C-alpha cells in the first residue's frame, strides 16, 4: 500500500516569506508526527497529532511554526516569516495508534527539503 507522502519534495523560499509543507499519512493511521532534520544531525521532534488534535507541540521552536490536521488525516506544517536557520529537511511520520512504549512503529515520509535564501 501507499506509504507516507510529503509535498513538495523541495522548497526554496526567500527570508521573510510564508511556507506550507504537506504530509499525507498512511490511511487509517491516527498518530502523525513532524520532525526537523538539520544537515548532519538526527531528526528533532516538532509536534505530534492524535487524530485532529495536537497532543504535544513542545518541539515547535517558536510561534512562527504552526501545524494543523483538520480532518485527522492530511497535515500541514506552516512557517511564517521564514529565517535562514529554518533551512532543513522536514520529516513527517505516521503510526497506527501512537501507542507509547515503542508498541507502534512510525513510518516516515521522504521529507521536504526547505531552503531559505
Helix (H/G/I), strand (E/B), else coil: 85: helix
Least separation in angstroms between residue 3's CB and another protein is: 8
Query: Residues 42, 62, 70, 71: which binds another protein (CB under 8 A)?
Result: 42
Q: What three-state secondary structure class fits 28?
A: coil
- Maximum Cα–Cα distance for the chain, whole Å? 41
Asked if 56 interacts with another protein (CB under 8 A), we say yes
Of 82 and 91, nearer to another protein (C-beta) is: 91
Within 8 A by CB and 6+ apart from 65, the residues are 46, 77, 78, 79, 80
Residues that contact another protein, how many (by CB under 8 A):
32
Other Cβ atoms closer than 10 A to 25: 27
User: Any contact of residue 35 with another protein (CB under 8 A)?
Assistant: yes
Contact 112, 90 (CB under 8 A): yes
Query: Does 55 interact with another protein (rule: CB under 8 A)?
Result: yes
Write out the binding residues for another protein, residues 70-109 only, by CB under 8 A: 91, 93, 95, 98-106, 108-109
- Using CB under 8 A, list all residues that contact another protein: 3-4, 31, 33, 35, 40-45, 48, 50, 55-56, 59, 91, 93, 95, 98-106, 108-111
Amino acid at each position: 500500500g501507499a506509504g507516507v507522502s510529503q509535498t513538495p519534495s523541495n522548497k526554496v523560499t526567500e527570508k521573510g516569506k510564508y511556507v506550507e509543507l504537506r504530509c499525507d499519512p498512511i490511511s487509517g493511521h491516527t498518530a502523525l508526527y513532524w520532525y526537523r532534520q538539520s544537515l548532519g544531525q538526527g531528526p528533532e521532534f516538532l509536534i505530534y497529532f492524535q487524530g485532529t488534535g495536537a497532543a504535544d507541540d513542545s518541539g515547535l521552536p517558536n510561534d512562527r511554526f504552526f501545524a494543523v490536521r483538520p480532518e485527522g488525516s492530511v497535515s500541514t506544517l506552516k512557517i511564517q516569516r521564514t529565517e535562514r536557520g529554518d533551512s532543513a529537511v522536514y520529516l513527517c511520520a505516521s503510526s497506527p495508534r501512537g501507542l507509547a512504549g515503542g508498541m507502534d512503529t512510525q513510518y516516515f515520509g521522504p521529507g521536504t527539503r526547505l531552503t531559505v535564501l
